[in-house]
Amino acid sequence: MTMEPAAIRAVHKPWGSTQLAPWSRLSDGKPIGEVWFERASSDAPPAALLLKLLFTSAPLSLQVHPDDRLAQSLGQPNGKTEAWYVLAAAPDAEIAVGLTRDLSHTELRNAIADGSIAALARWQPIAAGQAVLVAAGTIHAIGAGLVIVEVQQRSDTTYRLFDNGNARPLHADLAMIASAPEQRVPDVAAARPRTGRDVLAESPFFIVERLCFEPGASWALDTQGEAWLLVTAGALAFDQVLLATGEAIFIEGERASFRAIAAGTEAIFAYVASRPNAGLISRNEPHSGVTP
Q: Residue 190 and residue 131: Cα distance in Å, rounded?
A: 8
Residue 225 identity (one-letter amino acid): G
SS3 227: strand
Residues with Cβ within 8 Å of 24's Cβ and at least 6 positions away in sequence, in order, are 8, 32, 35, 53, 246
Question: Is there a catalytic annotation at residue 160?
Answer: yes
Q: How many CA atoms lie within 13 A of 234 on its CB side?
A: 18
Q: Residue 119 and residue 3: Cα distance in Å, rounded?
A: 46
Continuous H helices in 59-171: 68-73, 105-114, 117-120
- Catalytic residue, chosen from 160, 197, 210, 259, is 160
Task: Return the percent helix, strand and coil in the chain, to nearest 5.
Answer: 10, 40, 50
**Nearest 5°: phi and psi at 177?**
-70, -40
Pair 267, 248: CB distance under 8 Å: no
Pair 80, 52: CB distance under 8 Å: no
Integer-rounded Cα radius of gyration of the chain: 19
Which residues are known catalytic residues? 160
